[in-house]
Amino acid sequence: MTDVRSIATRSDLFTRRILEHRTDRPGRRLDILIAGCGMPHPLGLDRARARVVGIDEDIPAVRAAMASRTDLDSWALGDLRTVPVPPRAFDIVYVPFLLERILHPELVLDRLLAGLRPGGLAMLRIRDRASAYGMCVRMTPSPLRRLLWRRLVPEGTVGPLPAVYGEATSREGVHSFCLARGLIVTEETLESSGPAASRPLGRVACSAVQTASGGRFPASHDTISMIVRKPHNHFARLI
């Protein structure tokens, strides 16, 4: 059963939940897996009490970005359908802006969550394919995206990265995935954080898509953040 406890618009949700998770386990190190580590998204961790492992796809833009990462204890790049993820080895799996840029996101999520301990948390940040921003990205040909990239994003932004936007990169897609696997969505937030949406051209394009779609693809947000809990109950489907 899917239990949505809150819908908010704050991006500090993950840091709060990590602190709470650590408080519930006094004296024990937190083991954290970041899948999508090529794009830095700091979590405000006490590094002395956490082991942080990163994995991502082995593509040029990501590999170049890894040279500046100093917040990971170890990292590996490769095909995320086969890169090693030890079973039940992590308290928290953090997946920032990864699912929308890979093929077969459901298969990758299954592998990532197999590494989560019972009672552990998966923290997902996804560009919503059902938002105006998501539709703009999906409709823009790759050569044009590469041409416009530096004009639309802040300097130093990693990319442009692939834009696949499969069915799992939406609120409904994630809820369906979790329901089928006995996972519980406990919280979710909607926010605007897309780099292109912060520029006038991006905002105009998103507004045009919202108007043309009659509001079906809203411009009010582009990102979904979710907290997903893996139950302790041993009768839940093992993943």
Task: Tell whether the model's pLDDT for residue 106 goes beyond 70.
Answer: yes
- Model confidence at 158, pLDDT cuts 50, 70, 90, reads confident
What count of Cα atoms within 13 Å lies in the side-chain half-sphere of residue 179? Answer: 11
d(CA 166, CA 37): 20
Starting at the edge strand that comes first in sequence, how are the strands of the sheet with 90-96 ordered? 7-8, 184-191, 223-229, 116-127, 90-96, 30-35, 50-56, 74-77
Task: Tell whether the model's pLDDT for residue 11 goes beyond 60.
Answer: no
Instruction: Report the pLDDT value the prediction gives residue 116, as an integer from 0 to 100.
Output: 94
Instruction: Report the pLDDT value the prediction gives residue 238, as an integer from 0 to 100.
Output: 47
d(CA 76, CA 86): 13
What torsion do the CA atoms of 104, 105, 107, 108 make, to the nearest 10 degrees? Answer: 120
Instruction: Report the pLDDT value the prediction gives residue 48, as an integer from 0 to 100.
Output: 61
Instruction: Report the pLDDT value the prediction gives residue 228, as an integer from 0 to 100.
Output: 95
d(CA 47, CA 193): 26
Cis upstream peptide for 160 (omega within 30°):
yes
Q: Which residues pair with 191 in a beta bridge?
A: 223
Average the pLDDT over 31-50 and give the result. Answer: 77
d(CA 98, CA 103): 10
Q: Which two tokens stand for residue 109?
A: 């999520």
Task: Tell whether the model's pLDDT for residue 7 goes beyond 50.
Answer: no
pTM of the model: 0.87
When the pLDDT of each residue in the chain is averaged and rounded to a whole number, the result is 84
Average the pLDDT over 180-192 and give the result. Answer: 91
> Which has more confidence, 239 or 183?
183
**Domains of the chain listed by start with CATH number:** 7-229 (3.40.50.150)
DSSP structural state of residue 198: G
Closest to 168 in 3D by CA, of 136, 126, 133, 137: 126
Average the pLDDT over 34-62 and give the result. Answer: 81
The pLDDT > 70 percentage for the chain reads 87
Task: Tell whether the model's pLDDT for residue 1 goes beyond 50.
Answer: no
Radius of gyration of the chain (CA): 18
